[in-house]
A and B are shown apart, each in its own frame.
Chain A
Amino acid sequence: SQKIEQNSEALNIQEGKTATLTCNYTNYSPAYLQWYRQDPGRGPVFLLLIRENEKEKRKERLKVTFDTTLKQSLFHITASQPADSATYLCALDRDQAGTALIFGKGTTLSVSS
């Protein structure tokens, strides 16, 4: 079955630095991969979607890469701010049919000033 791993449970960085989060998957070739942000006690908030034929996508200070050979996505936050502190979730489509998403357990990012 598909497996998705975010290989850091927690990441602590200084304000202004670039945060890089990693998402790896196995046993599958997803049509797309998504990143969500989740704050404590809240629902996940959609950030970015990248398709299998895209190498990179940007949105303001966010950048996502998608390497289908390595089966890996990297999520970057440049010029990080304390307000970026949250848990970031990686998700991929389960069966290329627009149905279920499979989520990683998330990486909790803490940005200190």
Chain B
Amino acid sequence: NAGVMQNPRHLVRRRGQEARLRCSPMKGHSHVYWYRQLPEEGLKFMVYLQKENIIDESGMPKERFSAEFPKEGPSILRIQQVVRGDSAAYFCASSQLDSGGFGETQYFGPGTRLLVL
């Protein structure tokens, strides 16, 4: 059973370019979460999606960042006009609802390390 897959693992962009990060959840999981980890800081929640729906984007910057989880295909985190401060590790996690209706345990992918030059 394949785990959460993310690609690319490393991404280098120049300031002003667009970055697209992809995440394929674990088989059977319908919930996807994106987190950002800056150097020397903890993981910070960005956005929570279910298929074709953004459930909670309260942790995502209002500008330049967007996320989607289409009916078919991976979830995409898109960062437009990247700046140096966007350099970080971006992790995707997935979960499935338990009997209580909560998506408790989140399983993480290996992350995409974005470097903005």
Contacts and interface: CB of A to CB of B under 8 A. Distances in A.
Interface of B: 4, 6, 31, 33, 35, 40-45, 48, 55-56, 58-59, 91, 95, 97, 101-111, 113
A43 B109 contact: yes
Interface string A34-74: 10100001111110010000000000000000000000000
A103 B42 contact: yes
B43 to A, nearest CB: 4
Interface residues of A, number: 26
B105 A42 contact: no
A98 B102 contact: yes
Contacts of B31: 98
A83 interface: no
Contacts of B106: 46, 101
A91 B48 CA distance: 16
Contacts of B108: 36, 43-46
A95 to B, nearest CB: 9
A56 B95 CA distance: 24
Contacts of A100: 33, 45, 48, 56, 58-59
A31 interface: yes
10 contacts: A34-B105, A44-B43, A46-B105, A93-B102, A97-B102, A98-B95, A99-B33, A99-B103, A100-B56, A103-B44
A98 B101 contact: yes
Contact of B104 (A41, A45, A49, A103): A49
